[in-house]
Structure 1
Amino acid sequence: MPPSHVLVPLDGSPLADDALAHALETFDCGVTVLNVVTPIDASMSEGGVLEPGDERESEARERAERLVKQARDRTAEGDRRVEAVVETGDPAETILKAVGERGVDHVVMGGHGGDRSDLGRRLLGTVATTVVGEAPVTVTVVR
Structure 2
Amino acid sequence: MAPSHVLVPLDGSPLADDALVHALDTFDCRVTVLNVVTPLDSSMSEGGVLETGEERREGERERAESVIETAKKRASEAGRTVDTVVETGDPAETILAFVEDSDVDHVVMGGHGGDRNELARRLLGTVATVVVGKAPVTVTVVR
Alpha-carbon distance in 2 for matches of 1:91, 1:74: 22
Q: Could you state the TM-score of these two structures normalised by the residue count of structure 1?
A: 0.84
* Equivalent residues, number: 137
Contact 2:21 2:74 in 1 (8 A): no
Contact 1:36 1:90 in 2 (8 A): yes
Alpha-carbon distance in 2 for matches of 1:115, 1:134: 26
Q: Aligned in 2, Cα 1:89/1:28: closer, same or farther, shift over 3 Å?
A: same
Q: Aligned in 2, Cα 1:135/1:47: closer, same or farther, shift over 3 Å?
A: farther
Instruction: Report whether the alignment pairs 1:11 with 2:4.
Output: no
Q: Aligned in 2, Cα 1:114/1:83: closer, same or farther, shift over 3 Å?
A: farther
Residue identity matched to 1:111: G
Alpha-carbon distance in 2 for matches of 1:114, 1:28: 36
1:64 is matched with 64
Q: State which drifts further: 69-78 or 31-40.
A: 69-78
Alpha-carbon distance in 2 for matches of 1:127, 1:108: 12
Identity %: 69
Q: Could you state the TM-score of these two structures normalised by the residue count of structure 2?
A: 0.84
Partner deviation per Cα, 1:14-64 (whole Å, 9 max, x = no partner)? 00000000000100000000000001125x8x3545587330222112111
Alpha-carbon distance in 2 for matches of 1:99, 1:114: 30
Please list, as runs of the form range in 1=range in 2, the aligned pairs for 1:40-119 lying within 5 A after superposition. Answer: 40-42=40-42, 46=44, 48=46, 53-76=53-76, 78=79, 80=80, 82-112=82-112, 116=119
Q: Aligned in 2, Cα 1:53/1:83: closer, same or farther, shift over 3 Å?
A: same
2:126 is matched with 126
Q: State which drifts further: 123-132 or 105-114.
A: 105-114
Bigger relative CO (Cα 8 Å, ≥ 6 apart): 2
Q: Give the gaps of 5 or more residues in structure 1.
A: none
CA RMSD in angstroms comes to 2.4
Higher helix share: 2
